[in-house]
Structures are given as structure tokens and as C-alpha cells.
């Protein structure tokens, strides 16, 4: 039998249905791959061998009876931000040492309901704060991709869903869950040659996902094909009464949208996304995307999103503000790390000083500052106003077009330590944060390689709750790009 880890999700699903192989077999194949490869890649921070096999066996029983859900027997990796009952859930932070929740997040519950198998918990930037997976308490995740031309330097997989990206790209899971607050699904997907979608805010329940910035956080999948993401999101999405920001709309058949053509579709090209100093390769790839869609029968329209330039600074006010409050609960009193002291204030200080890494501390401090008396109006309130204007920009654009096409990130994967200035690092999110600020869906599709052989992604931005148009358009891009490149296995 060929290597089962080579199959994408749709193929694996079909193979399981026809009993070409068992859930146990494909699960074992992935567990072996993880055991062999993880030391080099550091994608998993906890591998749940026993649980995975037990879940696979349960799936096989169902499959034998011709039963089973849409993901029956599909081995997945789960970002450490999702609460998984009795299993490591620490947002890759020292401060949650030993935390194993007595509850399961709604998104992962949905996946298990549909028959998926959990392989383990995936590395990520601490509390999802980072664009390179260099802030994890569990160490850097390594990108399976390397620059061509003999430079063997390790590269970052992007962040914060770096473990999800590397694991899916290196075939250490069929697909993975991620979360995206400012680009944390789409940018790592672009850096590792994957598809990743951040759905509309409210499409997936946030219940049981460790909060970073509540008004921006959304769960979504990373996968090797557009179809796989469509299948995954169909399971992850739901209305959840436990999350009042989740939306009570039926979940469409996303997979059915994949393969539909884009004739007559109006695709907007936002002129403000043409940045000064952007690498020519990114610009060229973007143009290529325009051509592909034009050839497929779409109509290309230039649109304007004038408040784009304010999106990144506003995001870096709103997100840290919410984070500073969301992370206040990690105080050493009830769970996780406690660095004891006789005095409670000192206990807080010691626990939080030791428990949080530098990037988390930086954002907590920024957030605390922008919410402080005397600064609130100048920073937080103004950022919220800009957020409203950004939303309005998109509303106006979507009056004329059906979907927007942009690059996913302004650069390909870089080496760890290459970017040390936080603001330069934050610029990685420049094309993705606007989407979170407006609460819209965005998908990254691998579209080509840069001059050094590294994958680059194109982003499609849709109307609220119109993920179907994203999958449909992404499917066309995927087919036109014919992206088949694979990282050469060095690990």
C-alpha cells in the first residue's frame, strides 16, 4: 500500500468509505510519521497516540456498519489554543503549565461528532501572538520548506498557527485547525504552500478557544487543498448558544461550491494593497492571479479601500487592548503556573513575569496603556472608529464586486531571528488584519513560488457569510495555479 499520509482529506475520506484502508491504518501511518519527523520540525507539542488509536478504532466500527460522519476516521492536528478535554491545552504558554481542561471546545466537539481523529496538539505562538512561531514556550516550529540554492537555513512557518501549517505541509496530519486574529491562519498557510481560511466572525464558535482578542478571533482550517478546507469548515462551523457572538445561520454545503466556475463573477482589486517597496515577485504573482480569474471568465474591477493604511496601527491597538484584559485571568490563583509568595501582589507579579514570554508581555503592556485613563480616547476609541470606517470601505467595495483578490503576505517565509523589530514583524499582517477588523472571511491559496523556491499565497476576501464564493473562486485559482510543488524532504 502506498503511503497513506500522501492522501489529501477528500481522498482519505473516500478511501475510508470504500474500505481501501482503515482509520486505524491511516492513523498509525500519521503517528509513525509524527514520531519520525516531529523532533526536527517541532510541530506537535503533545501527541495523543492512545486517544488517536481509540478514536480511529471507533471510526472503523462505524465505517464497517456503513455509518460515520463527514470526517469519519480522518486524523487531524489541533492547535494548542483549542480546549481538548483531559489533553494538553496551554496556548503554548508557560503560564498554563499542566493545564488540561475538563471541557472540549465547540469547534473540536464538532469535529469529533463528525468522526475526526485527534493526533495531538500543535505548536503555536504563545497565546497566538506572533507571525513566525518564534514566541512559543515550546520552541520554534520549523518550516518544511527551505530556500533553493544550497541555503539550508531553517525557516519559520509563519504564525501564529505555525504548528498547524508545518504539520499539514509535512504530512503529519491530513489537515489542522488554526485560529486567525490578524492573519494567523492565512499567513502560515501562504508560507507553507497550504490553503487556509478564516471564516466570517461569528461563523465558528469561540467557546473553548483560549481567547486572544475576542472581537477578532476566529477558528478555521489549514489544509492541502481548497476542497479539504471546505469539508473541514463545514464541520467546524456552527451556531453556538454558548457564544453569543456566533451567528445563527445555516452552514451551507461548502464542498459543493468547490468546482463551480467564476464566469461573470466581479473580482475587485484594491489599489491600496499595492505597497511601496513590495517585492516585485508579490506584485507579479498578484497580476498572475488577476489573469487567471480573467481567463476563467471573471470581470476584474479596480476598487478603493482608502482606510487600509490605518488598519495595521488600529489592529495593534484593538487586539492588545482586548488581550490585556483577556489574559488577566492568568494570575496563578486557580490553575496553571503559580510562583508562590506570601504577598498576593508579589505572587501575581512573579507568576506573570515568569509565565508570559516577551511578546505577550509587550502586548499586555501596549493594551493596558491604550486603555488607561487619559489615553483611551486617543488610542482605543480612535482605533474603534477607524475599524468602523474600514468596515464601511469594504461595504462600499462589495456593493460593486463579489470578491476581492490581494496577496496574502508581503513576503515569503524568513529565517528565525531574521526579523527582530516588532513593528517589522507586525507588517507581515498588513494584508490580513483588515479582514479581521471588518469581520469578513478571507482565504489564502498557494499560487506560486518566489525566486528562491518558497511558496507564496494569494488572498481572497469575501462578503460576510459568503464563504461559498471564496471556495468557488479559490478552487478556480487553485486549478489555474496548478500548484504541485512540495518541499524536498530533509527532515
Give residues in contact with another protein (CB under 8 A): 82-83, 89, 91, 96, 99, 101-103, 105, 206-211, 213-215, 241-245, 321-322, 324-325, 327-329, 331, 333-335, 344-345, 348, 368, 371-373, 376, 380
The yes-or-no answer on residue 294 being catalytic is no
C-alpha 87, offset from chain centre: 21
Q: With beta carbons less than 8 A apart as the criterion, state whether 162 and 19 touch.
A: no
**Residue 45: all three cell numbers together:** 507539542
Strand order in the sheet with 195-198: 44-47, 117-122, 75-79, 175-180, 218-223, 195-198, 442-449, 455-462, 403-407, 266-270, 299-303
Catalytic residue among 22, 37, 136, 160: 160
CA dihedral 215, 222, 40, 8 (to 10 degrees): 170
Q: Kindly state the smallest distance separating residue 14's Cβ from another protein, in Å.
A: 34
User: Closer to another protein at the Cβ: 376 or 490?
Assistant: 376
The yes-or-no answer on residue 164 being catalytic is no
3-state helix, strand, coil in the chain (%, to 5): 45, 15, 45
The answer for residues whose C-beta is within 8 angstroms of residue 42's C-beta and 6 or more apart is 123, 138, 139, 140, 141, 142, 163, 166
User: Closer to another protein at the Cβ: 124 or 419?
Assistant: 124
User: Closer to another protein at the Cβ: 202 or 487?
Assistant: 202
Q: Which residue has the cell 510541530?
A: 43
Catalytic residue among 37, 46, 79, 223: 79
C-alpha 147, offset from chain centre: 23
CA distance linking residue 380 with residue 400, whole number of Å: 31
Q: Kindly state the smallest distance separating residue 94's Cβ from another protein, in Å.
A: 14
User: Closer to another protein at the Cβ: 12 or 83?
Assistant: 83
User: Closer to another protein at the Cβ: 39 or 98?
Assistant: 98
- Phi/psi of residue 355, each to 5°? -80, -30
The yes-or-no answer on residue 184 being catalytic is yes
DSSP lists the bridge partners of residue 462 as 403
Catalytic residue among 46, 184, 205, 409: 184
User: Closer to another protein at the Cβ: 247 or 312?
Assistant: 247
Q: Kindly state the smallest distance separating residue 378's Cβ from another protein, in Å.
A: 14
Q: Kindly state the smallest distance separating residue 220's Cβ from another protein, in Å.
A: 16
CA distance linking residue 151 with residue 287, whole number of Å: 29
User: Closer to another protein at the Cβ: 186 or 338?
Assistant: 338
Q: Kindly state the smallest distance separating residue 22's Cβ from another protein, in Å.
A: 33
Q: How far apart are the first and last CA of the chain?
A: 23
Q: Kindly state the smallest distance separating residue 76's Cβ from another protein, in Å.
A: 19
The answer for residues whose C-beta is within 8 angstroms of residue 200's C-beta and 6 or more apart is 218, 247, 439, 440, 441, 462, 464, 465, 466, 467
Q: Kindly state the smallest distance separating residue 375's Cβ from another protein, in Å.
A: 10
DSSP lists the bridge partners of residue 178 as 220
Cite the active site residues: 79, 160, 184
Amino acid at each position: 500500500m502506498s503511503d497513506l499520509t500522501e492522501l489529501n482529506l477528500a481522498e482519505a475520506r473516500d478511501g475510508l468509505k470504500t474500505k481501501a484502508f482503515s482509520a486505524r491504518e491511516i492513523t498509525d501511518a500519521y503517528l509513525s510519521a509524527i514520531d519520525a519527523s516531529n523532533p526536527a520540525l517541532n510541530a506537535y507539542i503533545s501527541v495523543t497516540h492512545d486517544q488517536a488509536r481509540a478514536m480511529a478504532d471507533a471510526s472503523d466500527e462505524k465505517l464497517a456498519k456503513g455509518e460515520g460522519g463527514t470526517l469519519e476516521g480522518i486524523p487531524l492536528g489541533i492547535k494548542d489554543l483549542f480546549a481538548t478535554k483531559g489533553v494538553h491545552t496551554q496556548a503554548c504558554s508557560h503560564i498554563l503549565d499542566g493545564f488540561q481542561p475538563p471541557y472540549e471546545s465547540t469547534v473540536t466537539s464538532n469535529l469529533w461528532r463528525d468522526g475526526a481523529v485527534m493526533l495531538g496538539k500543535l505548536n503555536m505562538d504563545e497565546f497566538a501572538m506572533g507571525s513566525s512561531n518564534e514566541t512559543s514556550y515550546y520552541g520554534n516550529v520549523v518550516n518544511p520548506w527551505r530556500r533553493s540554492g544550497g541555503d539550508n537555513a531553517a525557516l519559520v512557518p509563519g504564525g501564529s498557527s505555525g504548528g498547524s501549517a508545518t504539520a499539514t505541509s509535512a504530512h503529519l496530519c491530513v489537515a489542522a485547525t488554526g485560529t486567525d486574529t490578524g492573519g494567523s491562519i492565512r499567513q502560515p498557510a501562504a508560507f507553507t504552500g497550504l490553503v487556509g481560511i478564516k471564516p466570517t466572525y461569528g461563523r465558528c464558535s469561540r467557546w473553548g478557544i483560549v481567547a486572544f482578542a475576542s472581537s477578532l478571533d476566529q477558528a478555521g482550517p489549514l489544509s492541502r487543498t481548497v476542497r479539504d478546507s471546505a469539508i473541514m469548515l463545514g464541520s467546524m462551523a456552527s451556531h453556538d448558544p454558548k457564544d453569543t457572538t456566533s451567528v445563527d445561520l445555516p452552514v451551507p454545503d461548502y464542498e459543493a461550491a468547490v468546482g463551480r466556475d467564476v464566469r461573470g463573477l466581479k473580482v475587485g482589486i484594491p489599489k491600496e494593497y499595492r505597497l511601496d517597496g513590495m517585492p516585485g515577485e508579490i506584485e507579479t504573482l498578484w497580476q498572475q492571479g488577476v489573469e487567471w480569474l480573467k481567463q476563467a471568465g471573471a470581470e476584474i474591477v479596480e476598487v478603493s479601500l482608502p482606510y487600509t493604511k490605518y488598519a495595521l496601527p488600529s489592529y495593534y491597538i484593538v487586539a492588545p487592548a482586548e488581550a490585556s484584559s483577556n489574559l488577566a485571568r492568568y494570575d496563578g490563583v486557580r490553575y496553571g503556573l503559580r510562583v508562590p509568595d506570601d504577598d498576593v501582589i508579589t505572587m501575581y507579579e512573579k507568576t506573570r513575569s515568569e509565565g508570559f514570554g516577551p511578546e505577550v508581555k509587550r502586548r499586555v503592556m501596549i493594551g493596558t496603556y491604550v486603555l488607561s485613563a487619559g489615553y483611551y480616547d486617543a488610542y482605543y476609541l480612535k482605533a474603534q472608529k477607524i475599524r468602523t470606517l474600514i468596515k464601511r470601505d469594504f461595504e462600499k467595495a462589495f456593493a460593486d464586486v463579489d470578491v476581492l483578490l490581494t496577496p496574502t503576505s508581503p513576503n515569503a517565509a524568513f529565517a528565525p531571528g531574521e526579523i527582530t523589530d516588532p513593528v517589522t514583524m507586525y507588517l507581515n499582517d498588513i494584508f490580513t488584519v483588515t479582514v479581521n477588523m471588518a469581520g469578513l472571511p478571507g482565504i489564502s491559496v498557494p499560487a506560486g513560488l518566489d525566486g528562491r523556491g518558497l511558496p507564496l499565497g494569494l488572498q481572497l476576501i469575501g462578503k460576510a457569510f459568503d464563504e461559498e464564493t471564496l471556495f468557488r473562486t479559490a478552487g478556480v485559482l487553485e486549478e489555474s495555479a496548478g500548484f504541485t510543488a512540495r518541499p524536498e524532504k530533509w527532515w
